Structure 1
Amino acid sequence: MLVREAMTSPVVTIPTSATVRQAIRVLLEHDLTALPVVDESGRLAGIVSETDLLHHVFEHDPRAFTRRPATAASPAPRRVEEVMTRDVEITLPNADFAVLAETMLKARITNVPVMAGSEVVGIVSSRDLIAVLARDDARIRDDVLAAIAEYGPDGPRWDVSVHDGVVRLRGRADASAQRIADVIARAIPGVTSVSIED
């Protein structure tokens, strides 16, 4: 499966000049956990997450302390560019979704902007990973059958079963037809692995 088949698009972005409060409101309004940050020309400048925005926003309530709490020497950040992450992992629409998912999990990254040239065309979040895995087995089976019929209408007939995203293909086919069926099945959203049996 390719990234473009699972990414969230169109993507909601925010300019570097936006205030922290504005970014918080955008996250809430769109039910998001992060926003790609773009400069004046629309180029990716960073990414800002809920956690980035919440740091230094709340002041301590003196009623909760017996003595007055210490205050920070510097004022709280006001602009998104002050709190965003500048070193951003990115991906491409035609990248392998499984490779991206593995990278996100290993690096504990929850959001990755998708770039086409210098344009942000989507975002992949941990919610998108969950959405792919949550696809119903019956729907995956239907999609696999439809894709095989579309790309190989004159090819071998396959018996397809799916359990927890694992696709089992049974049919009499030569090595070339098996490779093609394997590639087609792996491209279907929600497929975690494919096995072929004669």
Structure 2
Amino acid sequence: MLIREVMTTPVVTIAPRATVRQAIRVLHEHDVTAAPVVGDDGRMVGIVSEMDLLRGAFEADPRAFARPVRAASEPPPPRVEDVMTTEVRTARPNSDAAALADMMIETGIKSVPVLDGTALAGIVSRRDLIAVLARGDARIHDDVTALLAEYGEEQRWTVTVEDGIVTLHGRTGESTRRLADVLARTVPGVTRVTVLDTTGRP
């Protein structure tokens, strides 16, 4: 599955000069955990997350402490450009979504902007990946069958799906098996594809 098939678009973005409070409202209103920061020229200059925006946003409540609480020495950063992350991990639309998922797991990154050249094409969050995996087997079955039909292949195959794993049964040549395998892998929610001939051999 390619990243362009799972990414969210259009992307909620924030300007570098937006205030931290404005950015907090944008993330809250759009129910996202991070947003790319885009300058006036349309280029991404960073990304800002909930964690970035929460730093210094609250002052301690003296009612929660036995001793007086010292006031903060300085106010929280006022602008998004002061708190955003500038070294951003990005992805390409035609890259493998599985590799991106592995990277996000290893690094703990929650959202990855997708760039087509220098243009912001989309964003992939953990929620996007979970939504793909949450698709039911019946819907995956219908989508695989419909896709095979578009290429005139539906009569050659019996499709079964269990927990996102697609098994294609049919007696065909090697090139047809490869085509069916590639087509099935493009369907959102498919985690693995096995192509078998009618005798059960791969």
- Which one-letter code corresponds to 1:195 in the other structure? T
The 1:20–1:171 alpha-carbon spacing in structure 2 relative to 1, beyond 3 Å, is same
Structure 1 stretches of 4+ moved >6 Å? none
3-state SS of the aligned residue for 1:15?
coil
Alignment of structure 1 residues 50-129 onto 2, 5 Å: 50-129=50-129
Q: Is the 8 A contact 2:59 2:72 kept in 1?
A: no
Task: Report Cα offsets for 1:95-152 as digits up to 9, x if no partner.
Answer: 111111111112111100111222212110000010000011111111111111212x
C-alpha displacement at 1:70, in angstroms?
Answer: 3.1
- Which one-letter code corresponds to 1:138 in the other structure? A
Q: Is the 8 A contact 1:11 1:123 kept in 2?
A: yes
Equivalent residue for 1:171? Answer: 170
Equivalent residue for 1:150? Answer: 150
- Which one-letter code corresponds to 1:55 in the other structure? R
Q: Is the 8 A contact 1:171 1:197 kept in 2?
A: yes
Q: Is the 8 A contact 1:156 1:172 kept in 2?
A: no
C-alpha displacement at 1:76, in angstroms?
Answer: 1.0
- What is the CA–CA distance in structure 2 between the aligned matches of 1:154 and 1:166, rounded to whole Å? 19
Equivalent residue for 1:191? Answer: 190
Equivalent residue for 1:14? Answer: 14
Q: Is the 8 A contact 1:46 1:84 kept in 2?
A: yes
- Which one-letter code corresponds to 1:96 in the other structure? D
- Which one-letter code corresponds to 1:179 in the other structure? R
Q: Is the 8 A contact 1:114 1:124 kept in 2?
A: yes
C-alpha displacement at 1:72, in angstroms?
Answer: 3.5
Task: Report Cα offsets for 1:176-198 as digits up to 9, x if no partner.
Answer: 11111111111111000011111
The 1:60–1:154 alpha-carbon spacing in structure 2 relative to 1, beyond 3 Å, is closer
Equivalent residue for 2:38? Answer: 38
Equivalent residue for 1:160? Answer: 159
- What is the CA–CA distance in structure 2 between the aligned matches of 1:191 and 1:155, rounded to whole Å? 18
Gap regions ≥5 residues in structure 1:
none
The 1:83–1:28 alpha-carbon spacing in structure 2 relative to 1, beyond 3 Å, is same
- Count of paired positions: 197
RMSD: 1.4
- What is the CA–CA distance in structure 2 between the aligned matches of 1:71 and 1:180, rounded to whole Å? 66
- Which one-letter code corresponds to 2:183 in the other structure? I
C-alpha displacement at 1:154, in angstroms?
Answer: 5.8
TM-score of the pair, normalised by structure 2: 0.93
Identity %: 59
